[in-house]
Amino acid sequence: MDHPLTRDTIPAAAAAPAERRRRPVGLPALAYGGDYNPEQWPEEVWEEDVRLMREAGVTMVSVGIFSWALLEPGPGRYDFGWLDRLLDLLHSAGIRVDLGTPTVVPPAWFYRAHPDALPVTREGVRLEIGSRGAICHSSPAYRQAAAAITEQIALRYADHPALALWHVHNEYGVPVGACYCDTSAEDFRRWLRERYTGLGELNAAWGTAFWGQRYGAWEEIRPPRLTPTAGNPAQQLDWARFTSDTLLDNFRRERDILHRLAPGIPVTTNFMTALSQCESLDYWAWGREVDIVANDHYLVAEAPRNHVNLAMSADLTRSVAGGRPWLLLEHSTGAVNWQPRNLPKHPGEMARNSLAHIARGSEGAMFFQWRASRYGAEKFHSAMLPHAGTDSRIWREVVALGAAIGSLGSVRDSRVVSDAAILWDWQSWWAQRLEWRPSVELDARAQADAWYAAAWDRHLTVDFAHPEADLSGYPLVLVPALYLMTGAAGANLRRYVEGGGTLAVGHFSGIVDEHDTVHPGPYPGALREVLGLTVEEFAPLPEGRTVRLDGPAGTLSAGSWSEFVVPRGAETQWSYGGGPAAGGPAITRHALGRGSAWYLSTRLDAAGLDAVLARVCADAGLPERRLPHEVEVVERIGELGRYLFAINHGAADARVPLPGAGMELLTGLLVDGELEVPAGAVRVVHL
Ligand code: GAL
């Protein structure tokens, strides 16, 4: 093929289409494949790779993510020969390509010229080359070099017939989010000047009257580097926002080049929405900027019921995609290489994982990686094609999964049906994690995990939503932990309840505004009206202490936290049976307008949370789902009908009632009224 080398030779690719493409171009089926690193292998191996990809039903591979040093061996000197041959080979086999911009690992020659593009930690240590992701994203030299290689790749491959999707960078925010160097400091000051009308406003927002931190000139402001004791929380919160924005700005620069030079090809970057995997990005903001939301998810192998965490990550990903289809770009066929003990997956677990992501909205299942590396830091990471070769359990499961995914093509573009929303805000999480909170056991992520698991156990499918989003479509909204809430978010919840919604809020929510300043008056300032109560004093419990809650519907057990709650319209449902707040309200319900708002002022154990959630669901009119406990049931709905996914995580065969008749897509059998799901199996019924 004829490769244009300069911008002038690009065809009339001028203006980007008004509505960007939302799925990989030319992909006729769900995406199935993985990261493919052919540069680690002699070219003879590529033929075998492609033959085996076809055997496994691979439809798309991600290529070139870490190839900058190979593609640009010296400044401005390019070598695209190998990538040309590779893309042509993949194209001849009908395999689509998710092509990386390799900007996550600049070549060694770049750092020789620009050592100050290496990132600096909060402790002032400059990180070194020899790994990946060592980047100061405020560095002008880095930005320029990244734009140049992106432009060259776009010019070269914009019209390649294998190209389906652009994959910018890799997992922004991991392993390096913030850089604390002087260049970043300068960039931070620029960001602040755009955000605040002047130093007066900044000093007020940061509360610099406290501990005499007032700034008299912009140049005095620095990143929140190590301080002798607790640093300014509002400064740290703005720094976290600046970090997410800076990385997003870098993404946008590359995206805009790709849009300009290859307008028909959608652009993505791989998120890590699981709260255990990336902490530094505000994915609500990022979700709006990509053409297709893509996500990587890795099980914490030793965590019990890690399939619940997988479901949560998938729901969060779908939600940052605004409910639109998204794509699982990486997960693993078996063990990863970076956990303390890298456990293999059980037989069937890989398929359950992949199909659970698809059930929750993914338009495919991709892996890290196609072929296991022989060398480098990830040589003990599993792959679709393991070191053991094709005579292996993993390979047989990979081939079977390829066939299974091949039979699910019609689910593309269908939407997940959800029952409720959980409110989540990365900015609130950042704020709550800062030093000197009333208890070290206040953990927003653990709260979100626990509430999500409680919903999962009741077979509720949930979306996540931003606290200021329109919630009117949901009968039930859960707020596990939103320490930071703007007045607008508080008003939003009040409107929601008055309009007929059912709301349940966890302790230590609605306390501060966007600058980590306590809302005026009694806690919880942003939520007093909707909850119909005030909190006079926090009363964290000593480590390990539990407290009994008494109510007409039985006793419950809670721990780590209690509060002195004063009802001001709300009615007590359970009261403290012991502890510092003994006799006072623990769980309340406020009838407001046409709806109701529940408040849980302590941290319930799983049974307690389930009992309260049962009452809350009844308020919301959500019927009890009588399904086998460890069977995950999710519905997708589209123009071609309804799809019911049933995933049996348990050790016993299960039966799931069906609302009608349909075709089971993985076995090709007709089913009517009831579905058998063997232990460990997945079934997908097209109703
Ligand atoms: C991901 C990353 C991949 C690979 C993988 C290993 O986070 O994007 O390149 O390192 O982890 O699990």
Structure-token pair, residue 321: 């995609």
Token reading at 363: 């338009």
Per-residue model confidence (pLDDT) at position 553 = 84
Atom of ligand 1 nearest to the CA of 336: 12
Residue ranges lining ligand 1, Cβ < 6 Å: 170-171, 296, 298, 330, 336, 368, 378, 381
Whose CA is closest to atom 11 on ligand 1?
Answer: 368
Whether residue 330 lies in the annotated active site: yes
> H-type helices in 139-181, by residue range?
140-157
Task: List the chain residues with pLDDT less than 50.
Answer: 1-16, 18
Residues 72, 254, 330, 514: which is the catalytic one?
330
Please tell me the predicted confidence (pLDDT) of residue 354: 99
**Ligand 1 centre distance from Cα of residue 22 (Å):** 24
Rounded-to-integer distance, Cα 67 and Cα 334, Å: 25
The SS3 call for residue 114 is coil
Adjacent-strand bridge partners of 268: 167
Asked if residue 445 lies in contact with residue 398, where contact means CB atoms within 8 angstroms, the answer is no
171 is a catalytic site residue: yes
State in Å: Cα 297 to ligand 1 middle: 9
**What confidence score (pLDDT) does residue 88 get?**
98
Q: Which two tokens stand for residue 389?
A: 């070769």
Three state DSSP letters for 529-591:
HHHCEEEEEECCCCCCCEEEEECCCCCEEEECCCEEEEECCCEEEEEECCCCCCCCEEEEEEE
Distance, CA 129 to ligand 1 centroid (Å)?
Answer: 18
Question: How does pLDDT run across 492-505, given as a tens digit for each residue?
Answer: 999 999 999 999 99
3-state secondary structure of 220: helix
Distance CA 185, CA 203 (A): 17
Helix (H, G, I), strand (E, B) or coil at 377: coil
CA distance 440 to 20: 45
- Model pLDDT for residues 578-593, shown as the tens digit of each residue: 999 999 999 999 999 9
378, 379, 384, best to mutate for ligand 1 pocket (most atoms within 8 Å of CB): 378
Q: Checking DSSP bridges between strand 502-506 and strand 595-600, what pairing results, if any?
A: parallel
pLDDT for 17 equals: 54
User: What is the pLDDT, as a whole number, of residue 258?
Assistant: 98
Probe target for ligand 1 pocket from 278, 296, 342, with the most ligand atoms within 8 Å of CB: 296
Q: What is the reported pLDDT for 413?
A: 87
Q: State which of 40, 67, 330, 369 you would mutate to test the pocket of ligand 1, scoring each by most atoms of that ligand within 8 A of its C-beta.
A: 330
Q: Which atom of ligand 1 is nearest to the CA of 170?
A: 8
- Dist CA 200 CA 216 (whole Å): 9
Angle at 234 between CA 228 and CA 236, to 5 degrees: 55
